[in-house]
Amino acid sequence: MIILGTVLGLAFFLFVGWIISTEMFQQRAWRRRVASGDHEIVEALILEAMAAWRSARPPRDVPANLWAGVQRAELAAATADLAVVQSSAEGEFRTVEGRREQVSSALDEALALAARLVEMMLYDVPNLSLGSVRVDVYSTFTADGGAALQRPILTTTAHRAGADGIDWDELAPAEVLARFETAWEATGSGLAAPIALSPIPGSPPGRDREAS
Per-residue pLDDT tens digits for 22-42? 545 455 544 555 554 566 888
> pLDDT tier at 94 (50, 70, 90 boundaries)?
confident
Name the pLDDT band for 212 (thresholds 50, 70, 90).
very low
**Is pTM beyond 0.85 here?**
no
Residues of the chain with pLDDT > 70, as a percent, come to 78
Report the side by side order of strands in the sheet with 132-142: 74-78, 82-88, 132-142, 148-159, 181-186, 192-193
- Given a cut of 90, whether residue 121 has pLDDT beyond it is yes
6-10, 157-161, 173-177, 178-182: range with lowest mean pLDDT: 6-10
What's the whole-number mean pLDDT along residues 162-180?
93
Per-residue pLDDT at 13 exceeds 70: no
pLDDT per residue as tens digits for the range 102-118: 778 999 999 999 999 99
pLDDT at site 30: 46
Most confident of 23-32, 77-86, 95-104: 77-86
Q: Are strands 132-142 and 82-88 parallel, antiparallel or unpaired?
A: parallel
List alpha helices for the chain, DSSP H: 2-35, 39-55, 64-72, 106-123, 160-163, 173-177, 207-211
* Residue 168 vs residues 102, 141, 155, 182: alpha-carbon distances, Å: 26, 31, 19, 17
Q: Which residue has the higher pLDDT, 33 or 44?
A: 44
Percentage of the residues of the chain whose pLDDT score is greater than 90? 53
pLDDT at 6 over 70: no
C-alpha distances in Å from residue 157, one per residue of 14, 23, 113, 137: 46, 33, 14, 12
| pLDDT of res. 211 | 46
- Closest to 32 in 3D by CA, of 22, 41, 21: 41
Determine phi and psi for 140, rounding to 5 degrees: -95, 135
Check pLDDT > 50 for residue 18: no
What's the pLDDT score for residue 184?
A: 94
Mean pLDDT across 140-155 = 88
Task: Provide the pLDDT for residue 120.
Answer: 96
